């Protein structure tokens, strides 16, 4: 049994990232994700899961190689939809990566915090088709327990017996980052000593996909899928939907050090704001996005002059990319063009509520490994997005402090701050 000392005052508790579990279109697990980044190839293609012909956008980043039986008992897998399976698989990978045995951790000291924009909506859609064809008797009796967003964190807690604070937020494309931020706050405040925190999304089904196609938010570069997601490029025409999950193990620093854990990075700041402006369009001046970054840096007791890398939300939409650029400029000021900024959605599309968690994992690995992933498909930089975008290929460099931005429909802004272990 691991005995946890109740650490110092909340304001002094540090939070280490000791485990990373992920499922993405470019690779799963810590090394799968990293190898995919280093290879520099996009996973975007024409949709194969259903016929996308009725839609103006026909592209997505799908995950092909996933077998739930690799991560859970067959009976358990059968009782979960893809959304639930991804949640458990990413959590198990994160625990294994952190070398933590759930049976050896005080259950009430472990929090689970997840985020998802749409939860199990794709499975609900599929079950509606069953209902129309077979009537109520044909519907999966587990439907009510799989469709709600909170199933992500609840299934993880049930699987491992964790009884600490538990929630799944549904704050659109910032959900994963907010979940990581909430887990961070719980550990720092002493309400938990370990938090499993991240995001999950499985939205690639006709109704969910079609809803975003209807509002013309997604790229229609159907003849060239691999270059469809092109953050900060002059010719970008929308985001590309993706799917996936990522879970981080957040651990009280002293606890991690005492057990000899590998520490990827320190998570040291979180800030969130709302534009209060529009459901789909960001506030044009970027003031609230900038304030989220400023709040996160203040929370980390860090100055903007210390920022050495920005992992941008970089959704490849006409409005988001220049607005995020304005926010970054506001915060970094005169040194803005000396700070590398990259957007990684060109690799794996935009997995909505999972994206902030995936990009938190990437930020932590970039710090640990001293390599910044490039912004794929950036060929003609938009003059409104005039930053150092790490275009073309990745960059070998040490990073002492990084920030990761996540922005979502409804005007939600969230920023996380990471530091190299010291």
Which residues are known to be catalytic? 173, 313, 350
Q: Is 105 helix (H, G, I), strand (E, B) or coil?
A: coil
Q: Could you tell me the CA-to-CA distances from 237 to 228, 315, 360 in Å, in that order?
A: 8, 10, 25
Phi (first) and psi of residue 17, to 5 degrees:
-95, 115
DSSP string, 258-280: HTT----EEEEEEEEEE--S-SS
3-state secondary structure of 168: strand
Burial class of 422 by CB neighbour count within 10 A (0 to 12, 13 to 18, 19+): exposed
Q: Which of 15, 10, 56, 45 is nearest to 418 (CA)?
A: 15
Distances (CA, A) of 81 to 50, 202, 281, 323: 17, 10, 32, 36
The answer to whether 334 and 175 are in contact (CB under 8 A) is: no
Q: Which DSSP helix (H) or strand (E) runs through 291?
A: helix 287-299
Distance of alpha carbon 193 from alpha carbon 83, whole angstroms: 27
76, with CB counted inside 10 A (0-12, 13-18, 19+), is: middle
What are residue 291's phi and psi, to 5 degrees?
A: -65, -35
């Amino acid at each position: 049994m691991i005995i946890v000392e109740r650490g110092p005052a909340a304001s002094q508790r540090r939070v280490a990232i000791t485990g990373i579990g992920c499922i993405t279109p470019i690779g799963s697990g810590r090394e799968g994700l990293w190898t995919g980044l280093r290879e520099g190839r996009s996973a975007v293609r024409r949709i194969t899961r259903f016929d996308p012909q009725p839609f103006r956008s026909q592209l997505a980043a799908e995950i092909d190689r996933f077998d739930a039986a690799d991560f859970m008992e067959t009976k358990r897998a059968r009782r979960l939809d893809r959304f639930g399976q991804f949640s458990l698989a990413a959590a198990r990978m994160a625990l294994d990566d952190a070398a933590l045995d759930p049976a050896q951790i005080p259950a009430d000291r472990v929090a689970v915090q997840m985020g998802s924009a749409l939860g199990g909506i794709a499975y609900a859609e599929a079950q509606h088709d069953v209902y129309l064809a077979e009537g109520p008797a044909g519907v999966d009796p587990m439907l009510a327990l799989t469709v709600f967003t909170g199933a992500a964190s609840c299934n993880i807690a049930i699987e491992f017996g964790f009884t600490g604070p538990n929630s799944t937020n549904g704050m659109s494309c910032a959900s994963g980052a907010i979940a990581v931020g909430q887990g961070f706050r719980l550990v720092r405040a002493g309400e938990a000593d370990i938090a499993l925190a991240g995001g999950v999304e499985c939205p690639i089904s006709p109704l969910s996909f079609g809803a975003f196609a209807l509002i013309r938010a997604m790229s229609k570069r159907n003849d060239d899928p691999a270059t469809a997601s092109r953050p900060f490029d002059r010719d970008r025409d929308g985001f590309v939907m993706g799917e996936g999950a990522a879970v981080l193990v957040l651990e009280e620093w002293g606890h991690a050090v005492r057990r000899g854990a590998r520490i990827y990075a320190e998570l040291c700041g979180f800030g969130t704001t709302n534009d209060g402006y529009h459901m789909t369009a960001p506030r044009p001046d970027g003031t609230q996005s900038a304030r989220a970054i400023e709040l996160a840096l203040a929370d980390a007791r860090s100055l903007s002059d210390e920022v050495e890398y920005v992992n941008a939300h970089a959704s490849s939409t006409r409005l988001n990319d220049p607005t995020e650029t304005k926010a970054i400029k506001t915060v970094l000021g005169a040194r803005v063009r000396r700070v590398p900024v990259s957007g990684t959605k060109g690799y794996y599309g935009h997995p909505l509520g999972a994206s902030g968690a995936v990009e938190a994992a990437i930020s932590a690995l970039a710090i640990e490994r001293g390599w910044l992933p490039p912004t794929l498909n950036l060929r003609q930089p938009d003059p409104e997005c005039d930053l150092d975008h790490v275009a073309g290929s990745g960059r070998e460099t040490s990073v002492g402090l990084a920030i990761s931005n996540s922005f979502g429909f409804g005007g939600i802004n969230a920023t996380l701050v990471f530091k190299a272990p010291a």
